[in-house]
């Protein structure tokens, strides 16, 4: 989500500076690729750029060609192949065995921030998910054009506009399904002669991390989480620990009560919570309070015997969080410094929030790093407008 924030910031700056820009978005990947659909890069006419669409091998080419490819103001869909033997359009022969489809869109400064940037900004600011549906292929421009969009926010409100209003409603309905499942997808609407290909991207807000405890070992945890683009809250009953001076990068720093530690906190259901106060009294109260909160991840710092004692003193609560309580906390990475422990904690939380087990990619079944994508997984929308 750091990338989204950077694109939002530079896009807004470019509009204020009266500079045109080109937004490059990965909208489809076939085979293996470093970045997945939804990856973005923004290139401003004065040379500034943020984000990426690959591991660094395509960014220069995209930045150089973006302006003339969108010279007439129309979006351009460009195919880049990284397969070792590929003589098709824009082959790169990098041996990555993938094909990347990138949508290039000219953003005119007089129009202000473009729809995708405005929508990203709303999801980040509100910390709520939404769906950005982008037309990436159309056999009938009277129905939709490449680059046309439909949006759906967390409250079910649809935005954007297509020439074919009925198609827009069908896309919005499909977007609602994506939002409910939390999964992006490619969908083809209509028959062969009127086919419209759409990339429905679930835009997720920054991950939320709530760190209970403001000790010295919380400092690298907060810093690393912010580097990852997470929304970080630090909470402690001790005001000298829960201070803005101590955690300048945190999004929120809260002094909590000892009796009701969650009273002044709004914890999202998809949050990761880490208890590391080094105070038996606080840890006990927090375990009792958090046991009933269905967060996505809950971890407790400290050795196993300490956790067992705290749980016994708390009445052996049943935890509502996904996966139960993680204690000892973190993946077994072999570190013992505060920075290494922070890495271990965030790695475990990242795996849990992503539905992964946190094992080596070498041992991942099937040999694929990512979930399968490409035309083989393409689906034709049921009940699509014909």
Query: What is the per-residue pLDDT across 91-121, written as a single tens digit (0 to 9) for each?
Result: 554 556 678 999 999 999 888 888 999 999 9
Domain limits, CATH 3.40.50.720, in the chain = 208-359
Is pLDDT above 80 for 371? no
pLDDT of residue 282: 95
Query: Chain-centre distance of CA 65, in angstroms?
Result: 27
The count of C-alpha atoms lying within 13 angstroms of the C-alpha of 20, restricted to the half-sphere facing its C-beta, is 11
**Band of residue 382 on the pLDDT scale cut at 50, 70, 90:** very low
Report the sign of the C-alpha dihedral through residues 218, 219, 222, 223, in that order: negative
Question: Residues 24, 28, 30, CA angle at the centre, nearest 5°?
Answer: 130
Q: Calculate what percentage of the chain has a pLDDT beyond 70.
A: 90
Better-scored residue on pLDDT, 22 or 358: 22
Better-scored residue on pLDDT, 43 or 90: 43
Is pLDDT above 70 for 35? yes
Is pLDDT above 70 for 164? yes
pLDDT of residue 309: 94
pLDDT of residue 324: 93
Alpha-carbon radius of gyration of the chain = 23
The count of C-alpha atoms lying within 13 angstroms of the C-alpha of 264, restricted to the half-sphere facing its C-beta, is 15
- Cβ distance 3 to 18 under 8 Å? no
Report the sign of the C-alpha dihedral through residues 180, 184, 189, 191, in that order: negative
pLDDT of residue 315: 86
Token pair for 31: 């085979």
The CATH number of domain 208-359, selected from 1.10.760.10, 3.40.50.720, 1.20.1080.10, 3.40.50.300: 3.40.50.720
Between CA 74 and CA 149 the distance in angstroms is 14
Is pLDDT above 70 for 280? yes
Between CA 155 and CA 173 the distance in angstroms is 13
Between CA 188 and CA 196 the distance in angstroms is 6
pLDDT of residue 34: 79
Q: Calculate what percentage of the chain has a pLDDT beyond 90.
A: 73
Q: What is the mean pLDDT of residues 168-182?
A: 96
Is pLDDT above 80 for 375? no
Mean per-residue pLDDT of the chain: 89
What are the beta bridge partners of residue 300?
Answer: 275
Q: Is 157 exposed, middle or buried (0-12, 13-18, 19+ CB in 10 A)?
A: exposed
Between CA 207 and CA 270 the distance in angstroms is 8
Secondary structure in 3-state letters for the chain: CHHHHHHHHHHHHHHHCCCCEEEEEEEEEEECCCCCCCCEEEEECCCCEEECCCCCCCHHHHHHHHHHHCCCCCCEEEEEECCCCCCCCCECCCCCCEEEEEEEEEECHHHCCCHHHHHHHHHHHHCCCEEEEEEEEECCCCCCCCCCEEEECCCCCEEECCCCHHHHHHHHHHHHHHHHHCCCEEEEECCHHHCEEEEEEEECCCCEEEEECCCCCHHHHHHHHHHCCCEEEEEECCCCCCCCCCCCCCCEEEECCCCCCCCCCCCCCCCEEEECCCCHHHHHHHHHHHCCCCCCEEEECCCHHHHHHHHHHCCCCCCCCCCCEECCCCCCCCCCCHHHHHHHHHHHHHHHHCCCCCCCHHHCHHHCCCCCCCHHHCEECCCCCC
Q: pLDDT by residue (tens digit) across 128-153?
A: 999 999 999 999 999 999 999 999 99
Is pLDDT above 70 for 264? yes
pLDDT of residue 368: 60
Question: Residues 18, 20, 23, CA angle at the centre, nearest 5°?
Answer: 135
- Cβ distance 136 to 157 under 8 Å? no
Is pLDDT above 50 for 348? yes
Nearest to 158 by CA among 121, 108, 206, 115: 115
């Amino acid at each position: 989500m750091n990338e989204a924030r950077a694109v939002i910031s530079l896009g807004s700056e470019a509009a204020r500076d009266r500079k045109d820009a080109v937004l490059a978005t990965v909208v489809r990947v076939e085979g293996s690729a470093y970045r997945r659909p939804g990856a973005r890069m923004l290139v401003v006419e004065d040379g500034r750029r943020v984000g990426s669409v690959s591991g660094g091998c395509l960014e220069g080419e995209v930045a150089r060609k973006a302006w003339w490819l969108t010279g007439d103001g129309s979006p351009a869909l460009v195919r880049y192949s990284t397969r070792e033997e590929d003589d098709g359009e824009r082959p790169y022969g990098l041996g990555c065995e993938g094909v990347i489809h990138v949508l290039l869109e000219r953003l005119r400064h007089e129009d202000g921030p473009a729809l995708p940037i405005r929508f990203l900004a709303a999801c980040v600011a509100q910390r709520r998910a939404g769906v950005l549906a982008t037309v990436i292929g159309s056999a009938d421009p009277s129905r939709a054009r490449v680059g046309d969009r439909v949006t759906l926010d967390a409250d079910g409100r649809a935005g954007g506009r297509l020439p074919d209003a009925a198609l827009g409603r069908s896309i919005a309905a499909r977007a609602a399904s994506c939002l409910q499942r939390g999964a992006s997808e490619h969908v083809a609407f209509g028959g062969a002669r009127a086919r419209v290909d759409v990339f429905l991207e679930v835009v997720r807000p920054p991950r939320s991390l709530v760190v209970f405890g403001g000790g010295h070992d919380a400092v690298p945890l907060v810093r690393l989480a912010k580097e990852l683009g997470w929304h970080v809250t630090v909470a402690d009953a001790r005001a000298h620990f829960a201070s803005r001076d101590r955690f300048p990068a945190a999004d929120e720093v809260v002094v909590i009560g000892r009796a009701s530690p969650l009273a002044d906190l709004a914890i999202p259901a998809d949050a990761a919570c880490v208890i590391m106060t080094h105070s038996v009294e606080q840890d006990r109260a927090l375990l009792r309070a958090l046991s009933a909160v269905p967060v996505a991840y809950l971890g407790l710092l400290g050795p196993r015997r300490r956790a067992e004692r705290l749980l016994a003193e708390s009445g052996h609560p049943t935890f509502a969080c996904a996966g139960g309580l993680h204690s000892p906390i973190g993946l077994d990475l072999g570190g013992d410094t505060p920075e290494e422990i922070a890495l271990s904690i965030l790695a475990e939380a990242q795996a849990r929030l992503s539905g992964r087990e946190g094992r080596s990619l070498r041992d991942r079944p099937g040999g694929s790093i990512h979930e399968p994508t490409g035309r083989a997984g393409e689906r034709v929308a049921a009940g699509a407008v014909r």
